[in-house]
Amino acid sequence: MKASKPVSSSLQLFVPLVDFLGKILGPKTEVVLQNVKDFSHSVVAIANGNLSGRTIGSPATDLVRHIWQNHEYDQHNYLTHYAGYTIQGHPVVSSTLFVRNSRGRVIGFLCINFDNSAFRQASQELRRASAYLDALGLADPTAEMKDNEATPEEPEAETGTDQSVHEVLSVNADEVVTHNIAKFATELGISPARMNLQERMQLITRLDGSGVFLVKGSVDTVARALGISSPSVYRYLHTIRNAAVGPDQST
């Protein structure tokens, strides 16, 4: 598998691993290597990309941008078993390794997204079959005893990131921005084109916090959605970021 260019020599070492893991884990598991140098075209290698529809050159996910912007990789080497979604809303189980160079600096993200829909479907079929047997009086007589036994808990996501942040596997950069605009506008309960000054500030604050503005061209996309100029978006951002830093640190 070839990677998009440019890729550092340290990150290039992980490119064969993407293809290797993709072959081992099978077609229901997507393996992605993302570069941190360009969040608009972050994917540099991918195996089984049919799971999300992404290809080399696709943008970084919202979770990757969130982790990068908040330096959450400082306290962790990886995240496991967290919820991911394709842009169509199809759920996957995701895990991410923070790829570091010899100096310990994060240079990329190795992500594995597993489509467990077949297992969920099988589980539903088993529950339906069990209910049918119960109705016929043919259920396993030891079932009640087994139900009372302690069952192992599902693995929790090992992560230091905000549990409300879910990964969305977007195909292109414009999709990243429009998805986040729609999500936050829905939470605010008003369409972007009808927002007043305060609501615009709220929307842009949330977009900035999610790392949307790490994506090239995002300011223009936000400006079009709000019906304002790109310089206006930059002014909003300047005001928001200065307020976050505080008057004592902004000089």
| Residue pLDDT, tens place only, 198-220 | 999 999 998 888 888 888 888 99
Do residues 218 and 203 lie in contact, with contact meaning Cβ atoms separated by under 8 Å?
Answer: no
The mean pLDDT value for 164-176 works out to: 66
The proportion of the chain whose per-residue pLDDT surpasses 90, expressed as a percent, equals 35
CATH C-level class of 9-117+156-165? alpha beta
> What is the SS3 assignment for 113?
strand
- Domains of the chain, by residue range, sit at 9-117+156-165, 173-245
The pLDDT score that the predictor gives to residue 134 is: 64
Tokens (6 digits) for 172: 């292109």
Please count the CA atoms within 13 angstroms of the CA of 170 that sit on its side-chain side. 25
State which H helix or E strand residue 154 sits in.
none
The proportion of the chain whose per-residue pLDDT surpasses 70, expressed as a percent, equals 73
pLDDT in tens, 47-78: 999 988 999 999 988 888 888 988 888 988 99
Output DSSP code: residue 139.
S
The mean pLDDT value for 16-31 works out to: 94
If pLDDT is split at 50, 70 and 90, which confidence band does 128 have? low
Region class of 15: left (phi > 0), else alpha (psi between -120 and 50), else beta: alpha
Do residues 10 and 98 lie in contact, with contact meaning Cβ atoms separated by under 8 Å?
Answer: no
Do residues 56 and 3 lie in contact, with contact meaning Cβ atoms separated by under 8 Å?
Answer: yes
The pLDDT score that the predictor gives to residue 131 is: 63
Using the structure block, give the residue that is written with the tokens 């010899």.
102
The model carries a pTM of: 0.62
Residue 181's closest CA among 137, 213, 216?
Answer: 213
**How far apart, in whole angstroms, are the C-alpha atoms of residue 140 and residue 124?**
18
**How far apart, in whole angstroms, are the C-alpha atoms of residue 234 and residue 140?**
66
Using the structure block, give the residue that is written with the tokens 């930059």.
234
Output DSSP code: residue 39.
G
> What is the SS3 assignment for 127?
helix
